[in-house]
């Protein structure tokens, strides 16, 4: 079922023609109690992160992560189950999306999950939240306080890159050139901020950060709009990424234009 318009906490969201939620977002936007209570509890220890915690719980952030989670789960089904399955959250912040997916993504515990963020305080808080969340803890995510550009990931890795607006497009493109056997789910935004160095004004602006030989690997793209600004998402495979042999792969992320 395609959902085009919905409201969360007084904020209206509209999905443009190329974007879709596969499930009704109003019925799937509940947050794990352990995550919400954990964030509240952590705010007493990580006092300087209180505003960031509030930012992480805004409708725009939550809906964006749910949207990304649904797309990532589609991408996970394209993977070959016989290969090592690694899921990397780039700029993972507090590991919030991984905590959500620990409850909703099929076979999530079978994946090797890595949370990468160059902010050591955000990583320490992510580790604290994992300790407070039995579901997320079972996944045994690895928290890596490093700049993603200093790291190398094995072929077949699926990268979840929600905050593309924070990263220099040329640096991302160079990184992808040496990770041509990986796949990525990108999100970017049109909302200006002091640390948004790579704003997008349409979904295809994401391609500024993608090598040209990746262009044929676009599997999905969409736009989520609000009065505040837009969120753009694109799922794309590198030219060397091998899709597993699974029935129905050709319709997993097929565009749906029916109302």
Residue with tokens 């969360």: 8
Q: Which of 226, 232, 258 is nearest to 67 (CA)?
A: 232
**Where do the domains of the chain lie?**
11-248
d(CA 159, CA 157): 6
Tens of pLDDT, residue by residue, the chain (259 residues): 466 888 888 888 888 766 666 655 655 666 788 999 999 999 999 999 999 999 999 999 999 999 999 899 989 888 665 565 899 999 999 999 999 999 888 889 999 999 999 999 999 999 999 999 999 999 999 999 999 999 999 999 999 999 999 999 999 999 999 999 999 999 999 999 888 999 999 999 999 999 999 999 999 999 999 998 999 999 999 999 987 654 444 434 443 333 3
The two tokens of residue 137 are 């803890």
Q: Tell me, rounded to whole angstroms, the distance of Cα 133 from its chain centroid.
A: 20
**CATH architecture for segment(s) 11-248:** 3-Layer(aba) Sandwich (3.40)
d(CA 206, CA 24): 26
Provide CB contacts within 8 A for 14, sequence distance 6+: 4, 5, 224, 225, 226
Is residue 18 within 8 A of residue 37, CB to CB? The reply is no
3-state secondary structure of 101: helix
């Amino acid at each position: 079922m395609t959902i085009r318009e919905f409201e969360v906490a007084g904020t209206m969201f509209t999905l443009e023609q190329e974007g879709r939620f596969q499930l009704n977002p109003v019925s799937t936007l509940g947050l794990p109690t352990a995550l919400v209570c954990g964030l509240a509890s952590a705010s007493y220890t990580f006092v300087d992160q209180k505003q960031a915690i509030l930012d992480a719980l805004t409708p725009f952030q939550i809906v964006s992560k749910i949207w990304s989670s649904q797309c990532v789960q589609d991408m996970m089904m394209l993977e070959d189950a016989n290969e090592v399955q690694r899921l990397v959250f780039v700029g993972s912040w507090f590991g919030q999306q991984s905590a959500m997916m620990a409850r909703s993504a099929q076979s999530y515990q079978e994946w090797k999950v890595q949370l990468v963020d160059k902010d050591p305080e955000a990583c320490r808080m992510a580790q604290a939240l994992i300790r407070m969340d039995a579901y997320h803890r079972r996944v045994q995510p690895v928290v890596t306080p490093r700049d993603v550009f200093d790291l190398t990931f094995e072929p077949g890795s699926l990268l979840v890159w929600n905050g593309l607006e924070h990263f220099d497009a040329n640096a991302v493109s160079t990184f992808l050139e040496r990770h041509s056997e990986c796949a990525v789910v990108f999100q970017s935004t049109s909302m200006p901020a002091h640390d948004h160095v790579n704003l997008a004004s349409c979904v295809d602006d994401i391609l500024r950060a993608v090598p040209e030989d990746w262009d044929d690997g676009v599997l999905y793209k969409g736009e989520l709009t609000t009065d505040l600004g837009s969120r753009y998402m694109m799922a794309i495979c590198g030219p060397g990424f091998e899709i597993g042999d699974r029935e129905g792969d050709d319709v997993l992320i097929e565009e749906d234009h029916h109302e």
